[in-house]
Chain A
């Protein structure tokens, strides 16, 4: 029997047993859709994180208080996360000690409820205290009004620059410039509005209120740790000088913090690269987990195929007997059932990928989850679907092939 005839026979069997065929395909379809969607969602999630990290820019260092895990495995520093001071930021601006550093901005953040005293509207946003150099380190300025100035910083002026989303919440349909907002009874004059970051994954960066660091620590948040900061952004003069800037920053801070052994530092310096590496590690864990789910759903689909192929063999014993009686060799019968299972696998795989693509289009419509379709994953899924058909079809097929012609013919 030729391969063409084998294929025809298999297609004919698939067509003439519609219900059974569709049920088999459904099992595979669900498995493959699960694979395509979990891979897509996993990749979407890691792309979102990657974009957020990339947003930092390639020549940016982030200094955070606290240390990396020490040799005893105990994380220190976070309990008293006040090890990073405004003075550290000032020291880093030295062109002598840190020639490759272009700009430094200390940043303190807190969650804060702002009120529009005119309308009574209130909105909780991220209150960010920083210096005018933030414009340089974050490559972002005001589109309306102005950003913070050195004078604001020196005078601890009661001024604020709002993110575009914050404006929408507090001043719907109104020009906020010249108006004011209050925080804990302190009146802050709105002097500017930040540029809108358009891409979806940066949306969170559009809701914030930026005030001078001096205002933040002396008049708004204060407390015992009034001179400590949440983090310090350090921008190198170029992407090429990033590692030099990293070393200068590290050396300067180790020295000023009187730390002899870098392993016990009470701060950490991260680059976009190192954050990316850490997030990739998280991604890998996520990927392994998703792959586990996908493998289980494929296994369930595969067992479904085997089950239905076995039923199919039992249902068609008489047909197998007739085919054998007129000259079908065992290998031909085996091939017929194997090709049939593969055809079902292929059809289920194609439909599953189709449904996965549809899901990838629909999921972002109804949630803010990003889904990135992977062509290799889709092709892989189809290959796996056919593989499932073959692997789980082998047993039913060989059972059908082994039947003695007369036993098959006699069965009812």
Chain B
């Protein structure tokens, strides 16, 4: 369990005093207020906290989908602010696999085409693309649904297709934002098992969850409260005491 930080190798992601303010006209919402944290290789980190506490905002910054309004965000040692859109696109493509609560599959494409899509952007040739997409679908036990469109699949199946899409480029970092939020308990368990297997393979896993028993299986828990992060052992204690600080 890599809980002690290896200072010689760069963190997978590192935040130093990161703030994020949303501006809607006159209104300003501080979603993150001075978050500092680092996540290392092969870690499984759970992010917990009440709704509106800034979990998704944090996850979007980790996934290079959004940028902080203050502070520094580093991804494998590079300041994300210094990277241009093309490099960020490559990082999202090759290095990160994102699993959303709302699945975010493209409705007019089959499951196989959805899983292939990241490889299309990676300019992998069609034969290899297909083989890897089929392998990814095999991994989530959905090869027999390869030609189905998302509308023809159950929620659990759709989320497994999304997991296959996240793992098909063999990324080092998997980010999952309440992946089981729209699923029944059986489907949720399937998806969690898949995600934990990906971590067991050696990928860094960051998981936002509301379920405390899931969080306890993580190596480390980050508790978000009103835009601030409360790290690790203290949070574990919080979980053990049933969610009360």
Contacts and interface: CB of A to CB of B under 8 A. Distances in A.
Contact of A326 (B60, B118, B123): B118
B108 A332 contact: no
Nearest to A8: B120
B65 A329 contact: no
B98 A325 contact: yes
Contacts of B123: 1-2, 5
B121 A327 contact: yes
B89 A329 contact: yes
Interface residues of B, number: 26
B213 interface: no
Contacts of A328: 89, 93, 121
Nearest to B113: A12
Contacts of A12: 108-109
Contact of A16 (B85, B94, B108, B122): B108
Interface string B66-95: 100000000000000000011001101110
Given A322-B104, A409-B104, A327 B65 contact: no
A407 to B, nearest CB: 8
A319 B104 CA distance: 8
A331 B90 contact: no
Majority DSSP secondary structure for residues of A touching B: helix
A69 to B, nearest CB: 67
A140 to B, nearest CB: 70
Contacts of A323: 106, 117, 121
A275 interface: no
Nearest to B121: A327
Interface in A1-16: 1-2, 5, 9, 12, 16
A409 B108 CA distance: 17
B160 interface: no
Nearest to A328: B121
B55 interface: no
B65 A326 contact: no
Interface residues of A, number: 24
A121 interface: no
Contact of B94 (A2, A327, A329, A405): A327
Nearest to B117: A326
A128 B66 CA distance: 89
A326 B98 contact: yes
A1 B108 CA distance: 20
Interface in A355-412: 404-406, 409
B187 to A, nearest CB: 21
A11 B76 CA distance: 38
Interface string B145-178: 0000000000000000000010001000000000
Contacts of A331: 86
A112 B100 CA distance: 90
A330 interface: yes
A322 B121 CA distance: 12
B90 A327 contact: yes
The listed residue with most B CB atoms (<10 A of its CB), out of A319, A321, A323, A325, is: A325
A176 to B, nearest CB: 75
Contacts of B179: none
B90 A329 contact: yes
A330 B85 contact: yes
Interface of A: 1-2, 5, 9, 12, 16, 318-319, 321-332, 404-406, 409
10 contacts: A9-B120, A16-B108, A319-B106, A323-B117, A324-B89, A326-B117, A327-B121, A329-B85, A329-B86, A404-B66
The 5 closest A-B pairs by CB, nearest first: A327-B93, A329-B89, A16-B108, A406-B66, A406-B65
